[in-house]
A and B are shown apart, each in its own frame.
Chain A
Amino acid sequence: MSLDVATWTRVTELFEQLVELPPVQREQVLESSRPEPVVREWLDKLLCAHESSDECLIDHTVLGVVGELESSTNAAADHETRRPALPERIGPWRLAGEIARGGMGIVVRAERDDGQYQQQVAIKLLRARSLDAAEQRMLQQELRLLARLEHPGIARLIDGGVSEEGLPYIVMEYVAGEPIDEWCNRHGVDLDQRIALVEQVCEALAHAHRRLVVHADIKPANVLVDEQGRVRLVDFGIAGLLAESDSAAVRTELRCSPAWCAPEQLAGESPDASQDIFATGALLRRLLTGRRMRSGQAITCWLAGQSGDYQPPAPPSTEALDILAPQRLRGDLDAICLRALQADPQQRYVSMNALRADLERWRQGHMVSARPLSPIGRCGRFLRRHPLPVAASTVAVLALVVGFTSATINARQARLAATQAQTEAMRADAVRDFVLDLFRAADPLRQGGAELSTREVLAGAVETLDANAKLPPEVRVQILNLLSDVQRSLGGYDDAEELLARAENVLTKTPDLPVLLRAETRFQQALLAEKLSDRERARESLTEAARLLADPNERSAVELRARIEIELALNASRSSEPERAETHFDTAQHLLATLQPPELDIEKLLHGNRGVAAYRAGDYERALDEMRQTLAIQQQLGNAEQGAIVTTLSNLAAIEAQLGRLDEALDYDRRALAIARQAFPEGHMLIGRRLYSLGDTLRQRGEFDAALEALAEARRIQQAADLPAQVELIDLTRARTLLAMGRFDEAADLAAETGQAMAAREGPLAGEVLLLLDFELAALHALDDPLLAERLMLAEQRLASAIEAERVGGHGRRLALTLAAIALDRGDPARAGRWLALHGDRSAFEAGDVPLIALSLELRRRVYINEPAATTGLAERLQHALNESTLTAETRAHAWCALAEVAAAGNQGRRLAVALDELEQLAASETTDAPSRRMIERMRAALDETGTS
């Protein structure tokens, strides 16, 4: 039965001849041409098939076939392919004729039919699919919000609902107009007029954004110019409305116009104001160049998941329409257009008004604000991306309930997810920017042209909430939670509390609200309590929230529960209950492991916090591991994480330094600084922070000059940023560096000065204050300064008070060692013994720098009080411990000094020679700090004096 090409060719030749002939003549032809049997066989078959009246698949087309398939699968999803029979009338409207038909539905012209007055409208029948009761309510709610748009540039929504046939419909003002691009071209509109038209688009959109409505599908076909030459936007919010009625899986599918929309919209993000800004940029570009935003090729790339590859288009001036003068586009208009078309929403104009203002400035010949990739923009982008813990889960539910109308809030919020070690100031910045961004389109008429403050914006949000009496309780609770979250992050704790109390009130009145909402409110209450240092209450609320979500099944519940567990772990870690923290971390990890696809933002949060907790508990290897995982996730998350990656790298540097791996630490510090310099504007406090850690690592490596240089730059930045705590921290490290360098005078002065400043802010017993005293004493001691006695007294008083107040931390213990060492040098072993007692029984051997220094001093004390017998065993252990490679030069110097003294006291010549040799090498080594050298010097002098050497 198989056919080769030659046979087929022969068959078709004959078929061609025969098919037109009546059967009798066919036989004649076949007689004469005598085809081979196989050809003859096929010919018969083909002719037979041709004559047969049987229906065959080939007589159908794909539509019929697809129709068959669809009638069984997700019947609801694809009814757009059917042509719904148009009813004669819908409500009071008599349908007159079809205007257009597209993927989203049918547009019909209609007239009011109650004889009262004449009104022409356009009715959009949405994709035919019946809505359930909840969806109908939702539709009504959306329509109400759309109806609030009243602007000459927006075709009015007149009515809407569900027809008797069950078709959702929207009645809108009928606009007799032409798409803006076609209109411009047909009328040969000049450049200034084109820009003025785009300004009108911006005005209309700004009006909508202020009412938290985004258009989501701005393209020439939806931007009409009417007979009066005015811009009229149509199809407002329809894209969002439709998206709303789709299932979650479908929602990620394209619902915009790919040739015009923003890249993130293609990636399936919820509609948001910045996408309208992008699309307006695309519209502007269309009017300048005649080009669409992107080719089919580019779309393919995006759909294939290469969304990172979006590059803003060439400057419009390079491809200007023939009728426009390219030199007029060059520079400012290029910049305006490209700013709106930035890949990253945060780098676009912050609002429609900002874009409009720039266009207006351009028309009036003023300077425009568009500066692509300005440092401010870069910074703002990061800050705005900066995370808030609840946001993601809040948003998911919110999006479901109110859909696109709150999309402006949602999309922004959704990008916010928490990381650990960011400062409060930064978080506040992030939120403030987010809110400003959101509402910057503040009504200039209502506000008398003034910028709204964040507080006013928030108050406005609350006002809107109050005005919306019909808002369903679940939405109300969501919004209250959200606003409280924002208020808390801004430091408005009272307001946050009030908002939560209101949420609580709604929850109490409406007992059947979803448990997820309750849990979220509890979670917010906990975060607030934590802020107010009410750790106990925080824990109660968290426990309650966890109980509410004891068995989370939907994704958003699992996510929230995981966040709750992480917060519980932090709560435990802060209360120094590492085991309880572990349990909660484990629960969170277990929950997150069930999510498919994984929720990277929360996983990042988990690992980051686990790392910090491990660091706090002194488990540095574990901390390192967790922090590396955090970094890996952040790298996966891509560019948006840049700012947060800086923090993680810094944490890694700190951990490596703690583990004595200074090369690795330096590497992480340098990477962190490089990224920070890229991500933040010059002089940003976060660059200062990175310079500080770099300086500290350099100090630890003995690269003192480089360290001082980095610290000086860090200090300038933090001083300019007016961050005294940061400046003091830097000065502390500078003092420490100067001390290590042997610049004792400067070190003593700086330490004294900084110590005073810190004591004023942190109290006289703060760890850093004691540490600075330690430095000062070390410096004064090295100088044999007469001031030493006085400062010693102060130090001893402070340390004694700290002991009494049970506030002796690591720094206090270090200070005790310095006091002991000085006491020994000054011939006061009893005093040395008292301070050494703070370190416990020296015969219980411990590894590590501080215990070994304590042990060394204890040995020296025993030699001094002539207890050589009690030294032998300890000396052996000390000597053995010196094999440890990570010990600092300071520790070694202390140890060998002690061993030298033990050997001298015991007349062990060979051992003494070994110790002196080690000390000589240490004194010659560049990595040995000056105080240690000074100590070695003293030791050798003392040994010389007693003539034992």
Chain B
Amino acid sequence: MSTRDPASADHGETQARLERVYQSLRGIARRERARNPSQTLNTTVLVHEAWLKLEQSRTDLASDNHLMATFALAARQILVDYARRRAAVKRTHSEDYEAFELGDRQTRTIEDILAMEQALEQLEALDDRLARLVELRFFVGCTLEEAADCLDISHRTATRDWTRARAFLKTVLT
């Protein structure tokens, strides 16, 4: 088994987190794809592509802003697609998902995701940058600093933006 000098702690942490997000998304995407090959292929592709690009710039992971943003967008799409389909199934009591019974918690999560998407769409219409920030934080789990770097804004601006975005979403979501 290999050992390598671990990169700087921060970098390693980001990498590990991203990898976990990626693995989760991929898990969802591939299950979806197994159920419905055509529909989710694009999102799967998207998450792969974004991931690969991120992986390629591994020496300076968080620096490629565009890629990180793409990844966030992919993550968002996958989760939302997933939640939409689940919700639809629940409504129509489709037989397709017989093996999949939602518990209360999951039902709530799915509703949450859909509500979040709706709120995020509203926010997007008002201020695109805020929406991007939310995407990075919520869908990729970026820290405020990382997100600031990605969006090429100062830490201060990011904090301010986040306060607004959070207040807005809390308002709309409750």
Answer yes or no: are A and B bound together in one complex.
yes
Q: Given contacts A81-B24, A176-B3, is CB(A296)–CB(B134) below 8 Å?
A: no
**Is B1 a contact partner of A62 (Cβ separation < 8 A)?**
no
- Taken together as a complex, chains A and B put the C-alpha atoms of A253 and B19 apart, in Å, by 17
- Taken together as a complex, chains A and B put the C-alpha atoms of A818 and B145 apart, in Å, by 98
Q: Given contacts A80-B23, A304-B41, is CB(A250)–CB(B122) below 8 Å?
A: no
Q: Given contacts A16-B160, A234-B1, is CB(A71)–CB(B106) below 8 Å?
A: yes
Is A292's beta carbon under 8 Å from chain B?
yes
- Taken together as a complex, chains A and B put the C-alpha atoms of A124 and B174 apart, in Å, by 45
**Is B126 a contact partner of A299 (Cβ separation < 8 A)?**
no
22 sample A-B contacts, Cβ–Cβ < 8 Å, listed by A number: A5-B127, A49-B171, A54-B174, A56-B173, A58-B165, A58-B166, A63-B20, A65-B79, A68-B108, A68-B109, A70-B27, A70-B28, A80-B20, A101-B16, A102-B19, A122-B1, A170-B1, A173-B1, A297-B49, A300-B45, A300-B49, A305-B41
Q: Given contacts A66-B25, A99-B1, is CB(A296)–CB(B170) below 8 Å?
A: no
**Most chain-A Cβ atoms within 10 A of its Cβ — which of B1, B102, B103, B160?**
B1
Is B50's beta carbon under 8 Å from chain A?
yes
In the bound complex, residues from chain A placing their C-beta under 8 Å from that of B109 are 65, 68-69
Within B53-109, the residues touching A (CB, 8 Å) are 53, 55-56, 75, 79, 82, 100-103, 105-106, 108-109
Is A327's beta carbon under 8 Å from chain B?
no
**Chain A residue with minimal CB distance to B107?**
A72
**Is B52 a contact partner of A258 (Cβ separation < 8 A)?**
yes
Q: Given contacts A72-B103, A179-B4, A299-B49, is CB(A62)–CB(B134) below 8 Å?
A: no
Within A83-113, the residues touching B (CB, 8 Å) are 99-103, 107, 109
**Is A62 a contact partner of B166 (Cβ separation < 8 A)?**
no
Which 3 pairs of residues, A with B, have the shortest CB-CB distance? Answer: A122-B1, A78-B27, A49-B170
In the bound complex, residues from chain A placing their C-beta under 8 Å from that of B115 are 57
- Taken together as a complex, chains A and B put the C-alpha atoms of A179 and B4 apart, in Å, by 8
In the bound complex, residues from chain B placing their C-beta under 8 Å from that of A77 are 27, 31
**Chain A residue with minimal CB distance to B82?**
A69
- Taken together as a complex, chains A and B put the C-alpha atoms of A109 and B6 apart, in Å, by 13
A631 to chain B, nearest CB (A): 27
In the bound complex, residues from chain A placing their C-beta under 8 Å from that of B28 are 66, 69-70, 78
**Is A175 a contact partner of B164 (Cβ separation < 8 A)?**
no
**Is B23 a contact partner of A103 (Cβ separation < 8 A)?**
yes
**Most chain-B Cβ atoms within 10 A of its Cβ — which of A67, A73, A177, A249?**
A73
**Chain B residue with minimal CB distance to A16?**
B160
Q: How many residues of A contact B (CB 8 A)?
A: 79
**Is A52 a contact partner of B170 (Cβ separation < 8 A)?**
yes
In the bound complex, residues from chain A placing their C-beta under 8 Å from that of B105 are 68, 71-72
**Chain B residue with minimal CB distance to A247?**
B34
In the bound complex, residues from chain A placing their C-beta under 8 Å from that of B150 are none
**Is A73 a contact partner of B79 (Cβ separation < 8 A)?**
no
Is B140's beta carbon under 8 Å from chain A?
yes
A275 to chain B, nearest CB (A): 18
**Chain A residue with minimal CB distance to B16?**
A101
Within B1-36, the residues touching A (CB, 8 Å) are 1-6, 16-17, 19-28, 30-31, 34
- Taken together as a complex, chains A and B put the C-alpha atoms of A300 and B102 apart, in Å, by 32
**Is B167 a contact partner of A46 (Cβ separation < 8 A)?**
yes
- Taken together as a complex, chains A and B put the C-alpha atoms of A99 and B34 apart, in Å, by 34
In the bound complex, residues from chain A placing their C-beta under 8 Å from that of B113 are 65
CB within 8 Å of A: which residues of B? 1-6, 16-17, 19-28, 30-31, 34, 41-42, 44-46, 48-50, 52-53, 55-56, 75, 79, 82, 100-103, 105-106, 108-110, 112-113, 115-116, 122, 125-127, 134, 137-141, 160, 163-171, 173-174
Is A362's beta carbon under 8 Å from chain B?
no
A168 to chain B, nearest CB (A): 15
**Chain A residue with minimal CB distance to B160?**
A16
**Is A50 a contact partner of B24 (Cβ separation < 8 A)?**
no
**Chain B residue with minimal CB distance to A62?**
B139
Is A480's beta carbon under 8 Å from chain B?
no
**Is A58 a contact partner of B134 (Cβ separation < 8 A)?**
yes
- Taken together as a complex, chains A and B put the C-alpha atoms of A42 and B127 apart, in Å, by 16
**Chain A residue with minimal CB distance to B1?**
A122
**Is A81 a contact partner of B56 (Cβ separation < 8 A)?**
no
4 additional A-B residue pairs with CB within 8 Å, beyond A73-B31, A254-B48: A46-B167, A48-B171, A62-B141, A174-B3
Among the listed B31, B56, B127, B167, which residue makes an inter-chain contact with A74, where contact means beta carbons less than 8 Å apart? Answer: B31
Among the listed A99, A101, A250, which residue makes an inter-chain contact with B3, where contact means beta carbons less than 8 Å apart? Answer: A99
- Taken together as a complex, chains A and B put the C-alpha atoms of A52 and B100 apart, in Å, by 36
In the bound complex, residues from chain A placing their C-beta under 8 Å from that of B134 are 58
**Chain B residue with minimal CB distance to A248?**
B34
**Is B116 a contact partner of A58 (Cβ separation < 8 A)?**
yes
In the bound complex, residues from chain B placing their C-beta under 8 Å from that of A54 are 170, 174
In the bound complex, residues from chain B placing their C-beta under 8 Å from that of A103 are 19, 22-23
Among the listed A8, A59, A70, A304, which residue makes an inter-chain contact with B24, where contact means beta carbons less than 8 Å apart? Answer: A70
B83 to chain A, nearest CB (A): 8
Is A532's beta carbon under 8 Å from chain B?
no
B141 to chain A, nearest CB (A): 4
Among the listed A72, A81, A123, which residue makes an inter-chain contact with B101, where contact means beta carbons less than 8 Å apart? Answer: A72
In the bound complex, residues from chain A placing their C-beta under 8 Å from that of B168 are 46, 49
- Taken together as a complex, chains A and B put the C-alpha atoms of A694 and B49 apart, in Å, by 50
Is A141's beta carbon under 8 Å from chain B?
no
A872 to chain B, nearest CB (A): 72
Among the listed B21, B34, B42, B48, which residue makes an inter-chain contact with A299, where contact means beta carbons less than 8 Å apart? Answer: B48
A153 to chain B, nearest CB (A): 14
Among the listed A8, A63, A68, A109, which residue makes an inter-chain contact with B106, where contact means beta carbons less than 8 Å apart? Answer: A68
**Most chain-B Cβ atoms within 10 A of its Cβ — which of A56, A67, A175?**
A56
Is A155's beta carbon under 8 Å from chain B?
yes
Is A721's beta carbon under 8 Å from chain B?
no
A277-300 CB contact bits vs B (8 Å, 1 = yes)?
000000000000000100111011
In the bound complex, residues from chain B placing their C-beta under 8 Å from that of A5 are 125-127
A327 to chain B, nearest CB (A): 29
- Taken together as a complex, chains A and B put the C-alpha atoms of A254 and B48 apart, in Å, by 10
In the bound complex, residues from chain B placing their C-beta under 8 Å from that of A69 are 28, 82, 106, 109-110
**Chain A residue with minimal CB distance to B45?**
A303
Is A344's beta carbon under 8 Å from chain B?
no
**Is A81 a contact partner of B173 (Cβ separation < 8 A)?**
no
In the bound complex, residues from chain B placing their C-beta under 8 Å from that of A254 are 48
In the bound complex, residues from chain A placing their C-beta under 8 Å from that of B174 are 49, 54, 56
Is A3's beta carbon under 8 Å from chain B?
yes
**Is A81 a contact partner of B20 (Cβ separation < 8 A)?**
yes
**Is B140 a contact partner of A62 (Cβ separation < 8 A)?**
yes
Among the listed B19, B125, B171, which residue makes an inter-chain contact with A46, where contact means beta carbons less than 8 Å apart? Answer: B171
Is A782's beta carbon under 8 Å from chain B?
no
**Is A66 a contact partner of B48 (Cβ separation < 8 A)?**
no
Is A121's beta carbon under 8 Å from chain B?
yes
- Taken together as a complex, chains A and B put the C-alpha atoms of A170 and B2 apart, in Å, by 13
**Is A58 a contact partner of B31 (Cβ separation < 8 A)?**
no
In the bound complex, residues from chain A placing their C-beta under 8 Å from that of B160 are 16
Is A675's beta carbon under 8 Å from chain B?
no
Is A15's beta carbon under 8 Å from chain B?
yes
Is A178's beta carbon under 8 Å from chain B?
yes
**Is A221 a contact partner of B2 (Cβ separation < 8 A)?**
yes
In the bound complex, residues from chain B placing their C-beta under 8 Å from that of A49 are 166-168, 170-171, 174
- Taken together as a complex, chains A and B put the C-alpha atoms of A719 and B20 apart, in Å, by 65
